Structure 1
Amino acid sequence: MKKTMHFLSLSACAVALATPAQAASGDRAVAVDVAAGRLDSALLQVAQQTGVQLVFTDPAIGTKTAPRLAGRFTTGGALDRLLANSGYTWRYTGPNRIRVIAQPAAAALRPAALVQAAPPASDEGRVVPSNEQVEAALAADDAGTAPAAADDIVVVGSQIRGAKTTAALPVTVVDERQIANTGAVTGDELFRSIPQLGDVTFNSSYLPNSSNAARGDVGSVNLRNLGVGNTLVLLNGRRVVNHPTSRADENLVPVLTYNTNAIPVFGLERLEVLRDGAAAIYGSDAVAGVVNTVLRTDYDGVQIEGQTGYPEGTSLTESNLNLLLGKNLGGGRGNVTLFASYATRSGLRSSEQDYTASDDTRPLFVGTRFEGVSALDGRASITPWGSFQTVGNVQVRQNGTALTNASGQFHIQPSTNTGCQTNATTGLKNGLCIDDGTNTAAADRNLRFDPRVAYDTYIQPKVERINLFLNGHYDLTDGLELFGEAGYYSATTDSIQSSSGTLSSLPIVIPATNYYNPFGPTVLNGAANPNRLPGINAPAAGLPVTLSSYNIADAGPNLVHVKNDQWRALAGLRWEWLGFRWESAALYSEASVRDTSDGISATALQRQLGLSTPDAYNPFNGSDLANPSGADTTLSNAAALNAIRIKSTRFSKSTLALADLKASRADLLTLPGGNLGIAFGAEVRRETQLDDRDPRVDGTITFTDSVTGRQLGSDLVGTSPSPDTSGRRTVAAAFVELAVPVVGPDMNVPLMRSLEVQLAGRFEHYSDVGSVAKPKVAAAWEVVRGLRLRGSYAEGFKAPNLEQINARVVTRSNTRTDWIRCEAQLRTGAINSFANCAQSFAIQAQRAGNPDLKPETSNTWSAGVVLEPRFLEGSLGRVTFTADYWHVQQKGIVGIFGEGNALIADYLARVSGSTNPNVIRAAPTADDIALFAGSGIAPVGRVDYVRDQYVNLLPQEAAGVDLSATWELPDFGAGRFSFAANAAYLDKFFLQPSPPIQELIDARAAGTINAGTNIADAGSLVRQNGKPRWRVTGSANWRYEKFELGAFTQYTGDVEDTGLIDSAGVPWLIASQMTYNLYGQITVGNKREGRYRMRIGVRNLTDAKPPLSSNGFLGSLYTPYGRYWYANLRASF
């Protein structure tokens, strides 16, 4: 079956390069030049050169050879010569459709009425049968002997069927054998194996502790690294619905992607990657290019496949069960094919790898220049060792000793830590004490919380995935074909994530009556309060205390369950009329995500905090004395914990409805250089998006503090308020494309064997952002046979997504460094470099959507060369080299200034004597004043929030080179060898800084602000984070009778980790990596009795671990495990 699908893909390419116009290509002699070699390759060349739709599916064709063929032939004349003595013949199945089929021993399958002797090389008189003749001939055949005709397939990049201008397009095609080389079983793994497809920012290793970002079984598409959303994804040539949950990109705006894990890898016939701007042909989002996933069709039989695999040194296991069913209909008039896939994967726990075992990665950097720097300690400062502040900022003293600072701040810590203000006699019991101030001081770093240690959280979730896809087609008449498809994807993931922690922007006050409040009332429940500290100056009624920073770790980890569903239905017709091939289809697709996780209700928590009995919730009991950063072993009583736990759900849905009509003809006019081709069409689509947040987050259920009366927009502890969002748009589009043969081989122009030009234009009108029209021109100049130059220029556009336009003010909390505080500590000598600054906090950003956003625009050009030295084919086989330089400039990219940049701007403003009005701060506390003392900088308080809005920003420019090579050797008796290589070189990636960011860059260069600041998204981004300069893959295959070996190697260049910068401003270098895959297989049996294949393979043969980064590993480039073994069994009938 492996070989069968290989030949199916070859025949699909032949169909793709053929014209469905009229029978002119069959009854007119054309120049044919086919090298001697494999018969399948020769047939493919005939299809390319004659424009006929040629289908062949028998894998044995690849074992046959064909003679050299040169001269002027009709299609039939060429086929007669190539198939002579091969055991195969051909027959028409339509005016421009031909099948190659096995020649029976007794008689030809082609009816005698259609069989003619091989004509001379100048054959001009071949009569191509009419539809009626073909129908009559087919009726006389044995209906069960012929394979079904393949659907017409358009090579991505052109809408003209059979257009030779596809030679001008840089397209990477990944077929089934190449997919097998990668060992990929998910769409995410497959896309990671293609060098041009960039880093994967949406991935299953990204598991935030909040549903504010996409998580679960998800992968993203990012061609050229231009950003998620700049690549158009097609399924069988038509758009797909976006994954409905967004994630903030490098510009901190919500972006949407197609979920690559919804792609059934088992069902893939091939993956086509157009590495060129194509908005003029396909519309919005095709800025970087187009990825077309082509699924299997025209299968006749039954195939069952099972696979299991695991990475060494982990408990992770992965299993897949696949089923493929197909049936030809009506004696070859149609086919229906169904494939189903079921996959399961166990979760990967943090403890299973040293680079994921802890959020504190300092031990991994011992012996480097970053040894011991505090920036590598990623443990949470929001910890079960709570930080508190008395309401009214009352300073509490005990027998004259201050237990809090002047602002009433204090925290709980082990009595073994320095700074205790209480003792075991008059203070807290069980080895605890009170220290004044917050717990963020360097001396209290052991109090930071490490959920990976505490809960052994998941690095990758458990997954259960189902893929179903049905496609079919049927010739209602000789000129009218009905086709359709239906697909369903469903995946559930389960993971263990960190427990919930408070946000400074959503404070909760502990009533004075809390049973465990050390500053509680003197009398509680009619008796002396056993937990009020003696000798304190608090009033007899006690003091309420604000829970400033606290992780509710004794409630346990949050269990996260994500359910993804996606379905698609399409129906259409193809027909011929007025010499054109017409096609029209209607499509509806829908994707939904239900993200459910454990949480804590702020209202319920405060209710339990207000109890005056021992069943009150106790936030003053610290955590494990033996392991302060680990699991909380000092649990509150079970009744209190059960009372505060809730489930939180976010539901997101996106839909796509589309109807189109398009026509193409490859021979509209006959020009001196050949046939002029044309395609035109129109499309209407409706897109919607819904983001329905949990009632405790969207403002339906709010939290009103029972002590202060303050109302907060979110009742979910640790989650900022986020209103529901919805949006919809209607898009109407029209396009036209021309394939212009300027020079043809028959014109005998010196040094110009042919010159083909593609001209295209598209107009789109959006109901929400207006109209846009963009052109494209591409050309292919064949200097001599085997040497082709190609180039293109295209203008593109990307409409802002519905969330960017329609989102109301949303609040997000991210850990950011307050650089002005670092500067104060540096000046006073508290730290010796910014790398040791611990002034990072959860900073709240208020971001607003913008209905005035305009589409992003782009200009793309490319130039390349294709070299196919035909003189080598007889001795060394077929060799192809390609090299393409590309350049993209984008304007009006949607972004925000960002709270990180806003804090740097505030840093610059304050050292210059002013402030940033978008950074809203609280009044400085006594601790704040003490921190700034002696620095020469006016004291500042903590950041309350930062204001921001989505806007169209300045340009981004990127450029690079794509290189590829393929070599298929002749069969010298030891089997067939083939080799391939693909490389992507990133030469330039420059984000033009906006004036405010440029001001920050200039200030850093001048020394006004420290070189250790991390200014986001400015200047050259080559070799930063997920943008390596080089990405290279190579593959090799050997096939001999029933045996096959495949190998694959992948190189990823080094990148700078901008999250880890030394005092000189030099970042940590994440090293490059080279990995190797290998598989071997054996196939026995035959289709009549059953064909069986067994494959054993390994990914990452040398067990290379992902290169070290500040977070342990970089999930957008690497997977969190080493060597991976798998075994695969397949049976075909």
Structure 2
Amino acid sequence: MALGIVISAPAAAHAAAQTTAVDFHIARQSLPAAMAEFSRQSGVQILFPYDQFKGIITNPVEGRMTPERAVAALISGTGVTASPVGARSIALRLAVRAHAPEFRPIALTTQSAGFDAGAPGAAPAPAPAADPASAITVVGSQIKGAKINEAVPVTVMDLDQIKATGAVSGDDLLRSIPQMGDVSFNSTSGQTSSNFARGDVGSINLRNLGVGSTLVLLNGRRMVAHPGSQADENLAPVITYNSNTIPVAGLQRVEVLRDGAAALYGADAVAGVVNTVTRGNVEGGYVDLQYGGAQGTHLRDLQVSGLLGHNFAEGRGNFSLNFSYVDRTALEARDQDFTASADKRALFAGTGFAGLNSLDLRSTLSNYGDFAAIGRTSAITSNGSAVTSASGTFHIQPTTNSGCKVTLANGVCVDTGTRATSGADRNLRWDGNANNNISVSPAVRRLNLFGTWHYDLNDAITAFGELGYYMARSSSVQDSVFSISSIPMAVPASNYWNPFGATTLPGGAANPNRIAGLNIGAAGLPVTISSIRLTDLGPTYDLVDNSQFRALAGLRGQWHGFDWESALLYSEATVIDKQNGVSATALQNQLALSTPDAYNPFGTSANTQAAVDAIKVVSVRRDRTTLASADFKASRKDLFHLPGGDVGVAFGGEVRRDTQLDDRDARVDGTITWTNTVTGVTQPSDLYGVSPTPDTRGSRVVAATYAEFAIPLISPDMHVPLVRSLDLQAAGRYEHYSDFGSVAKPKFAASWDVVDGLRLRGSWAQGFKAPNLEVMNASIVTRGNTRVDYVRCEADLRAGRITSFANCAQSYVATAQRSGNPNLKPEESTSWSLGAVLEPKFLPPSWGRLTLTVDYWAVKQKGIVGVFGEGNALILDYLLRQQGSSNPNVIRLAPTADDVALYANTGLAAAGQVQYVKDQYVNLQPQDVRGLDISLTWRLRGTRFGDFTLTGNGAHLIRFYRAPSPQIQQLLDARATGLINAGTIITGGGSLLGQDGRPAWKAQGSLTWKLKGITVGGSVQYTGAVWDTSAVDASGNYWRVKAQTTGNLYAQYEFDKGALKGTSIRFGARNITDEKPPLAISAFGYMGALYQGYGRYLYGGIRREF
């Protein structure tokens, strides 16, 4: 007679009928262990012959379903059958065979794993206990079933926690994890320029160690990187994994390894690893419909999602498909007061920043242009009165402004010099938020399909695979096209509207637009457009198509005690970014016309539609990244035995190929150039207002191998005082890169159980981040950013034109020319952590299970890729010019008469405007970051009041220090000693703690209650205060962005009878107290990298299971 067992849950749980759907979370593991977990979660008794079933591995089961369906999914393809025994029991048997032995059930009560497993002195069970070692690999170790996972800090968000966030996108979900840093790739960043990663994109930045320093896995294997790049805070282009490609609606859980893991997973795992695990292996499925929106805005979301699965080949195989479609409308600038205007001065009333002109973030580039007559070295006069400056510069302004020299048509006039966009002339600025109602976040249509399959070829080998497809189309309204000073456009003397044009038109008629009485020749003069915004073209419309494809096929099985797995993976991501713009060649041709349909930049008459249409073009940026890999890995948890237990081992290898292509529009990459017909100068960019950027492409092949050992040094059976158990993890990885060489990195971790319920743990590891293909392969990258020319501010201050640098208006678009560097080395890191895990054993089981963790961590990085930066270069130039020299990397135009007048009687030599700044990507100085993670988990199951789950997770940033380079230190010393003004903003060195996206504290907590068909869940999220370094007050102090606390709440009811059986409805709210994002100094009035740009978000949904 074969020995059998009965697994049952506590008696209180038996009230659950087998027909009631339950949320199951059961990993792939041995059948006895799986059935013990099934009984605990469902309250249903399981009877089976232990000896026959102890070697059988079940399938993972995730999702809400009836116990009968869950059992069927668990045993599908295993050769085990299930049949009901009474109302509350299920019996398992092997498929019918001759002379099958009987089994005799023996009672066995399920226990939780964790610290309880193997407790010394525990009462012996009446039958062999189910094998507690799971066959699933959790991020942190490659050894299946290894206890050493307990030595590393891992945060796991299960299905209930995911639901409690109310997340619709991957960006929504990952923002709720406190250890995640700022989201620099987001829907609000840099939408006016294709030099940013735009559209449906969200970056991943664990611990704020930098975009690209966190490895992202999908079901344990790498994801392809997002193709679009943008400059990070170090002004180096970085790429990210796109969080919005994660199929949130189909997730089973999210695992976050908060520890360096390059020795296990390779490059990019400097800060840690994010592993998203999808649901699969189901029979049946569900369809879900959800609709929601942000109150007081145009933002609305419609989401249709579901999971479908089916067994085939008599249960030997399964195919499951997750699908999700989201239709989101745009969040518009006019929706909320803090985004409605770029002029933020009114929002800062009553604060220490009240009255500062730097809070007026309206653009100084407007439809009122600045111009300069070409070839003039003296003022142009009209009937003896000057209408230009001594260098021939003039601007257009409304006739209502003071200073008009000559009145033109359409309510505008000519005034001398460049526009003063401060004081009474502040109305010459342009407010794109108000005038064009630009999009704060784009409208998005997103489709995500992700399928998984497996098929048991025989009892030892299983074929498996994945097939995923993501696509998203985003559209947004952005500001109008504007000029950049480094690519000046000339208006020929022949232009019909040129006020300094010829006296007669080509047909002999008098020119009605030439100013009377000019002291220039009859042929007139061409003029240069120094700055202008082409507002009559209307807003810019941006359309971005993102797509991503993933295909994986592999085999897994067991051989002589080893679990092995091998797979081939190919993934590809593309971005097609389309934006309407202006052809410089077409604009030049339209400006040359001597008829009324010539383009008029002077505002004296509205341009005809034909003139506008003639200069419009659509620019297209096409980016693509690919990832192809082949891997093999094997593990065994009991390679050999030591007195402390079984030694586990894992080893494997991988070959992967990464490619990146950045294919710029032909008008930007130098294919189509533009020649100024007046000056004869050829420019490499024909897209007006856009810096030239050559195409970049690169590829690399990486070959890697790794090994890991889990070594039990002391076990409970050894009865060592104060050492219940002691386990060690040792791992190493070697990688060879085809483009820069080889790296090898180790890792060590240890877990020490002092007593039952108290564990101490620690780790030490080295890591690396390979330079991305763009910074290694780029030639010359030209970028234009608005920068303050501080030496001109100093001139204004000395002349008494301003009272502090906070009111300096000497900012304009400064062009930087950054060159790639094939000699870049990997960014390297050393990390360590010490922590403790407490599970109080003195609490009675009826109080639930409580787990507390605390981990102190530190990461030191060196060789971070970046540049000195044009902002810092201009400050250095300011310092050196006060000492009689200048920064040779700041290339300026020759001083004009206006420049000479600006510097007169200041003691400073006259300096012309900046033409461009030279820079190169280099490995920067080291960075030291330290922090503390705290977590709490409490679970109470099977009470008459229902099931309860409480979680808490806090991240405390203690230190964030970046060693200044010698040049940065020179600037910091100069500011400290008063050699340069305290109002200068120096970036890239010193303590960065609490600045911008680095709050000292972030925390998140959730509580879920379930009773029969009712589920109520809530979560709260806290983000600490930070200093906004984008502006300073008169004393050089940064603006303090306040802390924010938001709460989410949802309720769900599932019908279990009648026609609605299997149907559930839910209602919820994110940011239920309607908190606005804290005020910051930005065009939208908040930090999009830290906060969502709206208040209360309400949603409702319905789900049908089948």
- Could you tell me the TM-score, scaled by structure 2's length? 0.92
Query: 2:961 is aligned with what amino acid?
Result: F
| Among candidates 602, 607, 622, match of residue 589 of structure 2 | 607
Change beyond 3 A, Cα 1:923–1:247: same
Cα deviation for residue 333 of structure 1 reads 2.2
Change beyond 3 A, Cα 1:961–1:446: same
SS in 1 for 2:91: coil
What whole-Å deviation, never above 9, does each CA across 1:960-989 have from its counterpart, x for those lacking one? Answer: 000000112354422222211100000000
Cα deviation for residue 487 of structure 1 reads 0.1
Change beyond 3 A, Cα 1:53–1:341: farther
| Among candidates 627, 644, 649, match of residue 620 of structure 2 | 649
Tell me which residue corresponds to 2:19: none
Change beyond 3 A, Cα 1:117–1:1131: closer
Tell me which residue corresponds to 2:650: 679
Query: 2:532 is aligned with what amino acid?
Result: Y
Tell me which residue corresponds to 1:351: 334
Change beyond 3 A, Cα 1:168–1:44: farther
1:1120 counterpart = 2:1093: yes
Query: 1:428 is aligned with what amino acid?
Result: L
Change beyond 3 A, Cα 1:228–1:87: closer
SS in 2 for 1:768: coil
Change beyond 3 A, Cα 1:612–1:492: same
Change beyond 3 A, Cα 1:855–1:78: closer
SS in 2 for 1:55: helix
What whole-Å deviation, never above 9, does each CA across 1:294-322 have from its counterpart, x for those lacking one? Answer: 00111110311000001110122110011
Query: 2:470 is aligned with what amino acid?
Result: Y
Q: Is the 8 A contact 2:762 2:832 kept in 1?
A: yes
Change beyond 3 A, Cα 1:46–1:478: same
Tell me which residue corresponds to 1:471: 452
SS in 2 for 1:695: coil
In structure 1, list runs of 5 or more residues that go unmatched. Answer: 1-25, 80-85, 130-149, 623-633
Cα deviation for residue 482 of structure 1 reads 0.2
1:334 counterpart = 2:317: yes
Distance 1:870 1:1043 in 2: 30
Tell me which residue corresponds to 1:142: none
Distance 1:248 1:742 in 2: 48
Tell me which residue corresponds to 1:1036: 1007
Tell me which residue corresponds to 1:429: 409
What whole-Å deviation, never above 9, does each CA across 1:238-277 have from its counterpart, x for those lacking one? Answer: 0000000101111000000010001111010000000000
Cα deviation for residue 728 of structure 1 reads 0.2
Change beyond 3 A, Cα 1:500–1:909: same
Distance 1:419 1:252 in 2: 41
1:201 counterpart = 2:184: yes
Q: Is the 8 A contact 1:77 1:123 kept in 2?
A: no
Tell me which residue corresponds to 2:567: 585
1:438 counterpart = 2:418: yes
Tell me which residue corresponds to 1:248: 231
Distance 2:539 2:55 in 1: 73
Q: Is the 8 A contact 2:484 2:690 kept in 1?
A: yes
Q: Is the 8 A contact 1:869 1:879 kept in 2?
A: yes
Distance 1:299 1:46 in 2: 12
Cα deviation for residue 381 of structure 1 reads 1.3
Tell me which residue corresponds to 1:618: 600
Q: Is the 8 A contact 1:91 1:98 kept in 2?
A: no
Change beyond 3 A, Cα 1:384–1:78: closer
Tell me which residue corresponds to 1:823: 794
Tell me which residue corresponds to 1:1001: 972
Cα deviation for residue 152 of structure 1 reads 5.3
Tell me which residue corresponds to 2:116: none
Distance 1:968 1:890 in 2: 38
Q: Is the 8 A contact 1:91 1:110 kept in 2?
A: no
1:557 counterpart = 2:557: no
Q: Is the 8 A contact 1:226 1:288 kept in 2?
A: yes
Tell me which residue corresponds to 1:405: 389
Q: Is the 8 A contact 1:820 1:907 kept in 2?
A: yes
Q: Is the 8 A contact 1:55 1:99 kept in 2?
A: no
Tell me which residue corresponds to 1:537: 519
Distance 1:1110 1:56 in 2: 57
Cα deviation for residue 828 of structure 1 reads 1.5
Number of matched residues? 1059
| Among candidates 62, 74, 80, match of residue 41 of structure 2 | 62
Distance 1:189 1:88 in 2: 32
1:480 counterpart = 2:461: yes
Tell me which residue corresponds to 1:371: 354
1:1129 counterpart = 2:1092: no
In structure 2, list runs of 5 or more residues that go unmatched. Answer: 16-21, 58-66, 95-99, 109-122
Query: 1:113 is aligned with what amino acid?
Result: P
| Among candidates 201, 204, 224, match of residue 218 of structure 1 | 201
What whole-Å deviation, never above 9, does each CA across 1:907-942 have from its counterpart, x for those lacking one? Answer: 111112210000000111122112211211111110
Tell me which residue corresponds to 2:117: none
Cα deviation for residue 199 of structure 1 reads 1.0
Cα deviation for residue 677 of structure 1 reads 0.3
Distance 1:1003 1:829 in 2: 23
Distance 2:787 2:571 in 1: 39
Query: 2:593 is aligned with what amino acid?
Result: L
SS in 2 for 1:871: coil
Distance 2:32 2:897 in 1: 81
What whole-Å deviation, never above 9, does each CA across 1:49-81 have from its counterpart, x for those lacking one? Answer: 9977843599785253999xxxx99996999xx
Tell me which residue corresponds to 1:813: 784
Cα deviation for residue 28 of structure 1 reads 16
1:511 counterpart = 2:484: no
1:854 counterpart = 2:854: no
SS in 1 for 2:85: coil
Query: 1:437 is aligned with what amino acid?
Result: G
Q: Is the 8 A contact 1:27 1:124 kept in 2?
A: no
Distance 1:1087 1:241 in 2: 46
Tell me which residue corresponds to 1:908: 879
Query: 1:434 is aligned with what amino acid?
Result: V
Q: Is the 8 A contact 1:216 1:492 kept in 2?
A: yes
Distance 2:639 2:55 in 1: 24
Query: 1:469 is aligned with what amino acid?
Result: F
1:414 counterpart = 2:385: no
SS in 1 for 2:702: strand
Cα deviation for residue 118 of structure 1 reads 3.1
Q: Is the 8 A contact 1:760 1:776 kept in 2?
A: yes
Change beyond 3 A, Cα 1:491–1:1087: farther
C-alpha RMSD of matched pairs (Å): 3.2
Tell me which residue corresponds to 1:699: 670
- The percentage of aligned residue pairs carrying the same residue is 54
Tell me which residue corresponds to 1:113: 101
What whole-Å deviation, never above 9, does each CA across 1:455-493 have from its counterpart, x for those lacking one? Answer: 111101110000011101111100000000000000000
Distance 1:467 1:740 in 2: 42
What whole-Å deviation, never above 9, does each CA across 1:797-845 have from its counterpart, x for those lacking one? Answer: 0000000100110100000000111111111111111110111110000
Point out the more displaced range, 304-313 or 113-122. Answer: 113-122
Query: 1:170 is aligned with what amino acid?
Result: P
Query: 1:1127 is aligned with what amino acid?
Result: G
Cα deviation for residue 750 of structure 1 reads 1.1
1:499 counterpart = 2:483: no
Distance 1:468 1:475 in 2: 24
Change beyond 3 A, Cα 1:585–1:118: same
Distance 2:56 2:222 in 1: 38
Change beyond 3 A, Cα 1:154–1:1102: same
| Among candidates 839, 843, 846, match of residue 868 of structure 1 | 839
| Among candidates 701, 709, 733, match of residue 680 of structure 2 | 709
SS in 2 for 1:502: coil
Distance 1:45 1:775 in 2: 37
Change beyond 3 A, Cα 1:517–1:792: same
Distance 1:538 1:1115 in 2: 52
Residue pairs, 1:672-1071, within 5 angstroms: 672-1071=643-1042
Distance 1:978 1:320 in 2: 27
| Among candidates 459, 462, 465, match of residue 440 of structure 2 | 459
Q: Is the 8 A contact 1:322 1:342 kept in 2?
A: yes
